[in-house]
Amino acid sequence: MGFVSIQKEGAVATITIDRPQALNALNQEVLLELRETFLKCDGVKVVILTGGGPKAFVAGADIAQMADFNTLQARAFGE
Protein backbone atom coordinates (compact mmCIF):
# COMPACT_ATOMS: atom_id res chain seq x y z
CA MET A 1 0.00 0.00 0.00
CA GLY A 2 2.87 2.43 0.43
CA PHE A 3 3.37 3.49 4.02
CA VAL A 4 6.84 4.97 3.48
CA SER A 5 7.78 7.91 1.29
CA ILE A 6 11.02 9.72 0.56
CA GLN A 7 11.85 13.26 -0.50
CA LYS A 8 15.39 14.18 -1.49
CA GLU A 9 16.87 17.66 -1.55
CA GLY A 10 20.53 17.54 -2.45
CA ALA A 11 22.32 15.36 0.10
CA VAL A 12 19.36 15.36 2.51
CA ALA A 13 16.57 12.78 2.43
CA THR A 14 13.39 12.95 4.49
CA ILE A 15 11.79 9.56 4.99
CA THR A 16 8.23 9.55 6.33
CA ILE A 17 6.40 6.60 7.85
CA ASP A 18 2.74 7.32 7.20
CA ARG A 19 0.45 4.83 8.90
CA PRO A 20 -1.38 7.14 11.32
CA GLN A 21 -4.36 4.81 11.86
CA ALA A 22 -1.93 2.51 13.72
CA LEU A 23 0.19 5.35 15.18
CA ASN A 24 2.84 4.41 12.61
CA ALA A 25 3.43 1.03 14.29
CA LEU A 26 6.02 -1.08 12.52
CA ASN A 27 4.64 -4.18 10.83
CA GLN A 28 6.38 -6.40 8.26
CA GLU A 29 5.19 -4.30 5.32
CA VAL A 30 6.45 -1.04 6.82
CA LEU A 31 9.82 -2.59 7.69
CA LEU A 32 10.25 -3.91 4.15
CA GLU A 33 9.31 -0.53 2.71
CA LEU A 34 11.80 1.18 5.02
CA ARG A 35 14.55 -1.17 3.87
CA GLU A 36 13.74 -0.51 0.20
CA THR A 37 13.62 3.23 0.84
CA PHE A 38 16.97 3.33 2.62
CA LEU A 39 18.50 1.51 -0.35
CA LYS A 40 17.46 4.51 -2.48
CA CYS A 41 19.64 6.87 -0.42
CA ASP A 42 22.79 6.75 -2.58
CA GLY A 43 24.65 10.04 -2.27
CA VAL A 44 22.61 11.09 0.75
CA LYS A 45 24.59 12.36 3.74
CA VAL A 46 21.69 13.12 6.10
CA VAL A 47 18.47 11.19 6.64
CA ILE A 48 15.58 12.71 8.56
CA LEU A 49 13.20 9.98 9.70
CA THR A 50 9.74 11.20 10.64
CA GLY A 51 6.24 9.92 11.24
CA GLY A 52 3.08 11.09 9.55
CA GLY A 53 0.05 12.14 11.54
CA PRO A 54 -0.23 14.33 14.60
CA LYS A 55 -0.04 11.79 17.44
CA ALA A 56 3.09 9.65 17.22
CA PHE A 57 6.43 9.29 15.51
CA VAL A 58 6.32 5.47 15.74
CA ALA A 59 4.35 3.57 18.37
CA GLY A 60 6.75 0.61 18.17
CA ALA A 61 6.15 -2.87 16.83
CA ASP A 62 2.68 -3.77 15.60
CA ILE A 63 1.63 -6.12 18.40
CA ALA A 64 -1.62 -7.05 16.63
CA GLN A 65 0.38 -8.54 13.77
CA MET A 66 2.84 -10.25 16.10
CA ALA A 67 0.08 -12.07 18.01
CA ASP A 68 -0.25 -14.63 15.21
CA PHE A 69 3.50 -15.28 14.80
CA ASN A 70 5.05 -18.63 15.59
CA THR A 71 8.52 -18.74 17.15
CA LEU A 72 10.41 -18.58 13.86
CA GLN A 73 8.30 -15.73 12.51
CA ALA A 74 8.76 -13.74 15.73
CA ARG A 75 12.54 -14.25 15.59
CA ALA A 76 12.67 -13.13 11.95
CA PHE A 77 10.54 -10.08 12.71
CA GLY A 78 12.83 -9.12 15.60
CA GLU A 79 15.92 -9.44 13.48
* Model confidence at 1: pLDDT above 70: no
Model-level pTM?
0.85
* Model confidence pLDDT, tens digit, residues 58-68: 999 898 888 88
Catalogue all structural domains in the chain, each as residue range(s) with its CATH number.
Answer: 4-78 (3.90.226.10)
Residue 74: predicted pLDDT: 87
Consecutive H or E run containing 65: helix 63-66
Residues 6+ apart with CB under 8 A from 40: 6
Residue 76: predicted pLDDT: 87
Q: How many whole angstroms separate alpha carbon 3 and alpha carbon 22?
A: 11
Q: What percent of the chain has pLDDT over 90?
A: 75
Q: How confident is the model at residue 51 (pLDDT cuts 50, 70, 90)?
A: very high
Task: Taking residues 6-16, report their average pLDDT.
Answer: 97
